[in-house]
Structure formats: structure tokens, C-alpha cells
Amino acid sequence: MSKRDELIVKYAADIKDKFGEAPDMDLLTKVAIGLGPAIYNADASKVSGGDQKEKDTVKNNFLIKKLGMTENADMMPAIESVLEKYGSSNRNKHRAVVYYMLAKHFKKQAVYNK
């Protein structure tokens, strides 16, 4: 099993354990591939829920640039909600899982079917 496949299995377990849902493995794989080498970097592969700058990065680089959304008032509450469900005491919030959950929340899975 490749390193990427091992990480995707770990992400799927997080989705099941933390969010209580069965992951869409095809979408999760596409999100992980879309993150490129960042998933292998200990710092870049995680999202810091307590850092406003990090949440702004998720909003600007993922929701607006990647998903093609227009900035709106629903973005930050959605990010906060995903991070809260992931667990405020959980320091290992994987970026791929956060992005996956946000793509599903905003019903933007089709972005990964291009």
C-alpha cells in the first residue's frame, strides 16, 4: 500500500469516528490527490482550529479558489462547525478531512469530477 493510500485510510477512519458517517472513498481520494504533496508534510497536512489565520486560509484557498465559491457569511460558520465536530481537543485535524467535509457541506463534490 502506498503512503498516500495509507493516509486516505487514516482520513476515512477519522470521518467515520469523528463525524459518524461512511466516507465517499472516491471523493476522499480526489481531495487527498488535490492537496498534492501537502498531505505528506506534518504541518501543512493539518488545520489548526484555534488559529484565525488558518481558518482564513481554508476559506480563501479552498472554498473560494478551489471550490469557486463567492465569499459569503456562511463560510466561516461552516468551517467552525467542521472543526468543532472534528473535536476541539483533537490536535490532528487532517486538512484532507476538513476539505472533504466542507466540499460535502456546500455540495461542491462535482468540483472533483472535472
Tell me the pLDDT tens digit for each residue of 64-75. Answer: 999 999 999 999
CA–CA gap between residue 114 and residue 109 (Å, rounded) = 10
Angstrom CA distances, 57 to 8, 42, 49, 102, 104, stand at: 22, 17, 11, 13, 18
Amino acid (one-letter) located at 4: R
The tens digit of pLDDT for each residue in 73-108 reads: 999 999 999 999 999 888 889 999 999 999 999 999
pLDDT at 89: 81
Average pLDDT over residues 2-7: 96
pLDDT at 90: 85
pLDDT, mean over the chain: 95
Residue 48, all three cell numbers: 489548526
For residues 51 and 103, which has the higher predicted lDDT (pLDDT)?
A: 103
Q: Where are the beta strands (DSSP E) in 1-110?
A: none
CA–CA gap between residue 9 and residue 73 (Å, rounded) = 33
Cell numbers 467515520 correspond to: 16
